[in-house]
């Protein structure tokens, strides 16, 4: 990634990093080298537009809840010359914080199938990689929705942005799936006087 395409750069400038998309807004965050206006990294996150569209049968409230709580990190890329210096980690953390403040509870990204380096990179940052085609099940205001990587050569990495929950793998007779599970509360030691 050498430059941001001019049309995207113009849209970012005009809308302060926010772009209107179906079911909400997409957000673009960019990173520049200190003292230099050149963009060295970019993230683009948005409501999972196609997935939300596919939930139409479940009704508007479920679609709205999905639009509120789910986000797809569609793009996170660091210019080749700037990789391995912490830029990606910092931009991912900033993107997650921005999403969290907007009410997002679960974020996912798609990684090229078998790209062990990038899968490991996300894993070390709290994401659970789904195996190819492995479903993710999420409970949204009474309805349970299921989605997967769509079989297009990518696999999902999924992270809860809610400190009280985590993404966990469950085993079922039909196969494994990822879901959001409550984190075990820390055990508070009981101190008693003697």
Ligand X SMILES: CC(C)(COP(=O)(O)OP(=O)(O)OC[C@H]1O[C@@H](n2cnc3c(N)ncnc32)[C@H](O)[C@@H]1OP(=O)(O)O)[C@@H](O)C(=O)NCCC(=O)NCCS
Instruction: Please answer whether residues 109 and 73 qualify as being in contact, where contact means their C-beta atoms are separated by less than 8 angstroms.
Output: yes
Size, binding site for ligand X by CB under 6 A: 16
Query: Within 115-134, which residues bind ligand X (CB under 6 A)?
Result: 118, 121, 124
**Nearest residue (CB) to ligand X, 41 versus 140:** 41
Closest by alpha carbon to 51, among 121, 145, 161? 145
Other Cβ atoms within 10 Å of 67 Cβ, number: 20
Query: Within 60-79, which residues bind ligand X (CB under 6 A)?
Result: 75-78
Residue with tokens 């809840």: 65
Please report how close the Cβ of residue 187 comes to ligand X at its closest, in angstroms: 29
153 makes contact with ligand X (CB under 6 A): no
Please report how close the Cβ of residue 99 comes to ligand X at its closest, in angstroms: 15
CA distance 13 to 7: 10
Give how far Cα 188 sits from Cα of 133, 149, 184, Å: 40, 40, 12
**Nearest residue (CB) to ligand X, 90 versus 144:** 90
The pairing of strands 39-46 and 24-32 is antiparallel
154 makes contact with ligand X (CB under 6 A): no
The three-class DSSP label of residue 88 is helix
- Return the residue of 66, 99, 111, 180 that touches ligand X, per CB under 6 A: 111
34 makes contact with ligand X (CB under 6 A): no
For the record, the structure tokens of 14 come out as 């005009």
- Nearest-CB residue to ligand X? 88
Binding site for ligand X (CB under 6 A): 75-78, 83-89, 109, 111, 118, 121, 124
């Amino acid at each position: 990634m050498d430059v941001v395409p001019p049309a995207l750069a113009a849209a970012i400038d005009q809308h302060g990093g926010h772009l209107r998309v179906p079911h909400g807004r997409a957000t673009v965050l960019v990173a520049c080298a200190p003292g230099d206006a050149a963009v060295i990294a970019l993230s683009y996150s948005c409501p999972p537009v196609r997935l939300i569209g596919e939930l139409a049968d479940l009704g508007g409230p479920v679609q709205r809840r999905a639009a509120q709580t789910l986000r797809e990190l569609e793009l996170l890329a660091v210019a080749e010359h700037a990789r391995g210096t912490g830029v990606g980690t910092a931009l991912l953390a900033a993107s997650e914080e921005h999403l969290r403040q907007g009410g997002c509870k679960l974020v996912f990204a798609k990684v090229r199938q078998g790209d062990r380096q990038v899968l490991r990179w996300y894993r070390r940052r709290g994401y659970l990689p789904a195996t190819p085609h492995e479903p993710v099940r999420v409970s949204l205001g009474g309805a349970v929705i299921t989605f997967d990587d769509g079989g297009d050569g990518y696999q999902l990495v999924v992270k809860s942005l809610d400190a009280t929950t985590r993404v966990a793998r469950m085993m079922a007779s039909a196969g494994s799936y990822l879901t959001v599970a409550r984190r075990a509360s820390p055990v508070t030691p009981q101190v008693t006087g003697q």
